[in-house]
Amino acid sequence: MNHGPPGLAARAPAPAARDAAAEARLQAQQMRLVADNVPVLIASYDARDDRCLFANAAYAQAFGLDEQQIVGRTFAEVIGVEAAAEIEPYTTLVKRERRAVRYERRIEHAAGDRWIEVHLLPHVDETGVLVASFVLVNDITRHRLAELAVRESEERLAKFMHASAEGIVFHKDGFITDANPPLLTLLGYTLDDMMGRKTLEFIAPDHLAKVAAVIASGQETAYESVALHKDGTRIAVEFIVRTMVYRDERLRMTIVRDMRDREAARTRIEHLAHHDALTGLPNRAAFMEQLELALAAARLHDGRVALLFIDLDEFKRVNDSLGHLAGDELLQHVGARITGALRATDLVARFGGDEFMVLLPGALDDAELRDVAHKLLAAVAQPVPIEGRQMRVTPSIGVAVFPRDGDGAHDLIKNADAAMYQAKSRGRANAQFFDHALSERAYAALVLEAQLGEAIERGEFVLHYQPKLRAHDGSLAGAEALIRWQHPQRGLLKPDDFIAVAEQQRLILDLGLWVLRETAREARRCRDAGRALPIAVNLAMAQFRVPDFVDQVAQVLRDEGIPGELLELELTERMLMDDLGEVSRTLAGLRALGVRIAIDDFGTGYSSLGHLKELPIDRVKIDRSFVAGLPGDAAAAGIVRAIVMLGKSLNLSVIAEGVETPAQRDFLLAAGCDELQGELITPPLDAAAWHAWCAARG
């Protein structure tokens, strides 16, 4: 019956309706195509009367029907009344609990039994009413037959594969009924000697209870034990026990495997597990066990325990110059010398690489510990003959004492390690006692130094970009590239966390060149995306003073194929004050390339106005410390106005960094500042976020 507007039935279906109907038919055809071609039997039964709503070809054919004939038939009519009754608990569970059910059935058949796996899935509408149940059937006969074959094969192999090579004994109720020649050879008896005797007579006394328990239980198992040779020698063996029918009797069959070689190998493995393969010294694991025992004894008797952490100075130089074999030989000599310089009660371990650890139990005072450390310094520093030449390596030694420097093994090792790094920071080839404050700083600096070098090689540095906007209209004027270190343990680090160390170790040269290249690449990417924007980068003093710095910049511009106008270099006032003549020549060379020059943190240094007038500078940046006080701080406001006026008088553009509030922005705009940069606009963005930010602005 038509309930729509008058005349609707007479109208032709609208195009949208025709398209929807066609789409629905197409989807139905596709679903039918998929259902008929998957290797699974699929059907759906109405939840109200268990009549078939749908079945794929495979499901229908399995019961002698086709896809049309099966529709409308009840579950029992399709699979049979007996089968339906057998699986009724599963169908009831689906209907009652609205959850999927899985079960397996074995179907007896004249041509051979078959196994099927059935999944029943509830179909619930949006109101929670069970509409239908889906049936998915997989034939798993092949898998079950394969499993049976594997089990049978494994049982046969487990019982007979070693019969000709290993000892086998049959016994009934604990009395021996037969044995093969390998067993007789293993134990030194003849068959007549063993027949009829109790199996326990051939077991070591301390293993009798265990073997008797296995015999009494009748379990099939494998376990290790000790058998006795005729001459009384103990023989480590493994018993593999099985129950089987032999000569119409139910017997126990035991395979007796000689374990003496395995025991020897196990002893060797245990030694290797606790000793360093190169030096033969205890390894880290063994040392930790002994340290814990020594600490426990010291706690019980209010004693002291000292740890000496020894690291060879510049050992990498030996490996790099002579090779790792020479380095290994040197480590062997060092291990022997450390051991020879100590008492028999002291423990020396190789902790890893070129690190050794010494455990000194007993009540040694600091003076005695200092004497031991100096003795070790002298012993290790003696020349070592390596490949026909005399090699000399020095150690740095850190000392930590229980309970003064830590209550547990972890703390003592950590603090001895820190003291060792303190020794390295004081020129290496010396020993230092743990001092919390000094060691922490020295350790952190040395660790950071090492990590910085590795971070450059591994490419752990990234650049973030902070946009600069023109103050008068808010349009995008450029950006500043800001380096970040993606530290694998500490996360994203800002320059304050590592730049000082990089500058001290001159790692800043490699790092600075990387920043310069990556900034140029980003400028090229922006240009290629339709945004020809200058990107600024901060220079370090050491980088700016490199004699061929202008050539480096020129090479970067050529490599990246960008004009100098897309690169801006920011220098501090201090960098401009040293050697004015050389600074002028360098800036002139950069200016000739088209590179822009800015003075960063302007107002915090002591640059001469005369210098500013003479140097080829494009802009000055108002330091964020002045911007932070705006607009309420009268002194800051006066300085900012003066900087803007100075910049204008020298025909320099002025940019303010660190702009965080609308009030600061409004003040700077009124003061005549040309560009703004800061959190108010956006925090520094990673490369992806920076491009997305630019794209969003159009």
Q: Write out pLDDT tens, residues 234-271.
A: 999 999 998 877 556 778 889 898 888 777 767 677 66
Sign of CA dihedral 675, 679, 682, 687: positive
C-alpha span between 309 and 155 (Å, rounded): 56
Give the type of residue at 83: A
Cβ neighbours around 356 below 10 Å, total = 28
**689 backbone φψ class: left, alpha, beta (φ>0; ψ -120 to 50):** alpha
Q: Is the peptide bond before 467 cis (omega within 30 degrees of 0)?
A: no
Q: Which two tokens stand for residue 521?
A: 């690449």
Residue 3's pLDDT is 46
Q: 249-258 and 234-246 as β-strands: parallel, antiparallel, unpaired?
A: antiparallel
* Cα atoms in the 13 Å half-sphere on the side-chain side of 118: 22
Asked if 134 and 173 sit in the same domain, the reply is: no
Q: What are the b/e assignments for 118-142, b being 16+ CB within 10 Å?
A: bebbbbeeeeeebebbbbbbebebe
Q: Which two tokens stand for residue 192?
A: 């007549």
The domain that contains 217 carries what CATH number? Answer: 3.30.450.20
Residue 198's pLDDT is 93
The total number of structural domains that make up the chain: 4
C-alpha span between 532 and 568 (Å, rounded): 13
Q: Is 400 helix (H, G, I), strand (E, B) or coil?
A: strand
For residue 517, is it within any domain?
Answer: yes
Asked if 296 and 172 sit in the same domain, the reply is: no
Residue ranges of alpha helices (H) inside 561-651 are: 573-577, 580-592, 609-614, 624-627, 634-649
C-alpha span between 188 and 194 (Å, rounded): 10
C-alpha span between 238 and 224 (Å, rounded): 4
553-559 LR contacts (CB < 8 Å, sep 24+): 553/516, 553/590, 553/593, 553/595, 554/593, 556/516, 556/517, 556/520, 557/520, 557/593, 557/595, 559/517, 559/520
Helix (H) or strand (E) run with residue 538 in it: strand 535-538
DSSP state of 604: S
Closest CA to 478 of 397, 572, 598: 598
Q: Which residues, in sequence order, are CB contacts of 548 under 8 Å at separation 6+?
A: none
Beta bridge partners of 72: none
Asked if 479 and 616 sit in the same domain, the reply is: yes
Asked if 330 and 200 sit in the same domain, the reply is: no
Cβ neighbours around 652 below 10 Å, total = 22
Asked if 95 and 172 sit in the same domain, the reply is: no
Residue 582's pLDDT is 85
Q: Which two tokens stand for residue 613?
A: 């007038």
Asked if 281 and 189 sit in the same domain, the reply is: no
**603 backbone φψ class: left, alpha, beta (φ>0; ψ -120 to 50):** left
Residues in the chain with pLDDT < 70? 1-25, 27-29, 31, 109-111, 149-165, 246-248, 265, 267, 270-272, 363, 438-440, 442-443, 504-505, 578-579, 603-611, 698
For residue 19, is it within any domain?
Answer: no
Asked if 169 and 119 sit in the same domain, the reply is: no
C-alpha span between 66 and 59 (Å, rounded): 9
Query: Any idea how long the chain is?
Result: 698
Domain that holds residue 104: 29-141
The domain that contains 593 carries what CATH number? Answer: 3.20.20.450
CB 255 within 8 Å of CB 261: no
Asked if 44 and 110 sit in the same domain, the reply is: yes
For residue 35, is it within any domain?
Answer: yes
Sign of CA dihedral 545, 546, 548, 551: negative
CB 254 within 8 Å of CB 168: yes
For residue 195, is it within any domain?
Answer: yes
Asked if 527 and 670 sit in the same domain, the reply is: yes
For residue 665, is it within any domain?
Answer: yes
Closest CA to 612 of 602, 626, 624: 602
For residue 444, is it within any domain?
Answer: no
Residue whose token pair is 């008896």:
189
For residue 7, is it within any domain?
Answer: no
Closest CA to 331 of 269, 415, 395, 398: 395
- Mark which of 232, 263, 294 sits at the end of a domain: 263
The domain that contains 340 carries what CATH number? Answer: 3.30.70.270
Residue 615's pLDDT is 84
Asked if 638 and 683 sit in the same domain, the reply is: yes
Asked if 475 and 421 sit in the same domain, the reply is: no
- Mark which of 239, 263, 287 sits at the end of a domain: 263
* Cα atoms in the 13 Å half-sphere on the side-chain side of 510: 14
Rounded to the nearest 5 percent, the helix, strand and coil shares of the chain are 45, 25, 25
Residue 442's pLDDT is 65
Asked if 182 and 104 sit in the same domain, the reply is: no
Secondary structure of 227-285 as H, E, C letters: EECCCCCEEEEEEEEEEEEECCEEEEEEEEEECHHHHHHHHHHHHHHHECCCCCCECHH
Q: What are the b/e assignments for 635-646, b being 16+ CB within 10 Å?
A: ebbebbbebbeb
C-alpha span between 174 and 413 (Å, rounded): 57
For residue 532, is it within any domain?
Answer: yes
Maximum Cα–Cα distance across the chain: 120
CB 567 within 8 Å of CB 600: no
